[in-house]
């Protein structure tokens, strides 16, 4: 289980989505986004990205105290020229319950291995 997963089981997630819980809906959006990202990776370019890597990498760009700008997700040339979907930052803000994340224009954190 992901350390970022806000729900311990699938049944809890279904109930929360049915009642319109914004955190549950944000999680589902992020799961779909992650699935799309992973569909771009060929088996010779590396392993799939997991939710922890996606969230930790994004948060490394949000934390301005790190002094270096953040990490990048790179899988060969799979993400060359790719930028982060703007809605990603809004969903991450809801998931982490930190509205300030969505209020700042963050850069991308996908990179080719150039």
Q: Is residue 2 part of a domain?
A: no
CB 60 within 8 A of CB 108: no
pLDDT bracket for residue 8 (50, 70, 90): low
CB 90 within 8 A of CB 103: no
Task: Summarize pLDDT for 31-75 with one digit per residue, the tens.
Answer: 999 999 999 998 777 899 999 999 999 988 887 655 567 888 998
Q: How many domains does the chain have?
A: 1
What does pTM read for this prediction? 0.82
Could you list the residue range(s) of the whole structural domain that residue 51 is in? 10-111
Q: Is residue 5 part of a domain?
A: no
Q: Is residue 64 part of a domain?
A: yes
Give the helix ranges, DSSP H, for 40-109: 51-62, 86-96, 100-103
Q: Is residue 93 part of a domain?
A: yes
Q: Is residue 4 part of a domain?
A: no
């Amino acid at each position: 289980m992901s350390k970022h997963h806000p729900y311990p089981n699938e049944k809890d997630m279904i109930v929360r989505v049915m009642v319109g819980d914004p955190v549950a809906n944000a999680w589902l959006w992020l799961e779909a986004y992650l699935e799309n990202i992973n569909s771009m990776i060929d088996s010779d370019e590396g392993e799939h990205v997991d939710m922890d890597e996606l969230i930790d990498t994004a948060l490394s760009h949000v934390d301005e105290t790190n002094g270096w700008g953040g990490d990048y997700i790179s899988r060969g040339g799979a993400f060359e020229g790719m930028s982060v979907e703007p809605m990603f930052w809004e969903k991450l803000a809801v998931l982490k319950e930190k509205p300030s994340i969505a209020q700042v224009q963050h850069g991308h954190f996908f990179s080719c291995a150039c």
